[in-house]
Amino acid sequence: MIVYLDGKYVDSSEAKVSVFDHGLLYGDGVFEGIRIYQGNVFRLDEHLERLEQSAKAIMLAVPLSRSAMAEAVCETCRQNKLADGYIRLVITRGAGDLGLAPWLCEKPTLFIIASKISLYPQEHYDNGLSIVTVATRRIAHDALPPTIKSLNYLNNILAKIEAKQAGALEAIMLNAQGYVAECTADNIFIVVKGEILTPSASAGALKGITRGTILDIARETKIPMRETELTRHDVWCADECFLTGTGAEVIPVVKLDGRVIGTGKPGPITARVLENFRRKVLVEGTRT
């Protein structure tokens, strides 16, 4: 595997960062997970815009222009002969000392990995996931805005561990007020009487690129849709539920906390959304 690292394309065995890098020491950095479908890097410009905004929020300099970053992403895919897969783009604060001070890091570290990813077995896409609600709450907006896609994912990892201990592959995280925020690695949607509902960013949801795609699909296909506060009760009693994410794409949920959702099978609106999503990923984005 070939990895882009600070301006060079190197073998993965040679792609190394300093043990003094603040991305490693403190989770001080930002990242994007991006998908490529049949040579089309899906919504690359939107991903790079979100990366730039995350970096600006933590006052981290982006070492490349957007066009140069886009070319680096595409070239990393070309170097690996990757037409279908997953891209991880990371910018860390760079190497510094053992203190917190980010201004002592002379320059950021940038690396790009282009490889494969599989979050869930195919059977769960066909039959739906069974998920749980965990006790670990989503970090409050005034502590760390959910719009920042940072390297510090310990909050999500703790929730993921809880899900695993409960025998589930994914879990809902609530915010401090007890409303549904998101899952450990995915945004959540429900369908109630033909209308798609999803938590807003103010509730603690990441503004996911796939999430935004679903909102676009709803508008284009005239499916009623709105952002609103959701409780676990809303999910339990929904007609359908599905999760979205760059890695997960669109995956149905058929059970939460032991309660069967809808018919207990993936629903028709979920299927309609997924069909439209699969068309979009092939045409919206940047060709390698």
Strand pairing category for 187-192 and 240-245: antiparallel
* Cβ within 8 Å of residue 85, ≥6 positions away: 35, 36, 77, 114, 115, 116, 117
Max intra-chain CA distance, the chain: 57
**Catalytic residue list:** 149
- DSSP string covering 206-247, please? ---HHHHHHHHHHHHTT--EEE----HHHHHT-SEEEEEETT
Walk along the chain (288 residues) and give the pLDDT tens digit of each residue: 999 999 999 999 999 999 999 999 999 999 999 999 999 999 999 999 999 999 999 999 999 999 999 999 999 999 999 999 999 999 999 999 999 999 999 999 999 999 998 889 999 999 999 999 999 999 998 899 989 999 999 999 999 999 999 999 999 999 999 999 999 999 999 999 999 999 998 888 889 999 999 999 999 999 999 999 999 999 999 999 999 999 999 999 999 999 999 999 999 999 999 999 999 999 999 999
The answer to whether the beta carbons of residues 281 and 40 sit under 8 Å apart is yes
Report the pLDDT value the prediction gives residue 235, as an integer from 0 to 100. Answer: 98
Q: What is the pTM of this model?
A: 0.95
Domains and CATH numbers, the chain: 2-115 (3.30.470.10), 122-280 (3.20.10.10)
* Eight-class DSSP state of 93: -
Tokens at residue 35, please? 């998908």
Q: Which has the closest alpha carbon to 262: 238, 230, 242?
A: 238
Q: How many CB atoms are located within 10 Å of the residue 140 CB? A: 14
Total number of residues shown for the chain:
288
Q: How many CB atoms are located within 10 Å of the residue 122 CB? A: 8
Q: Which has the closest alpha carbon to 35: 213, 276, 199, 181?
A: 213
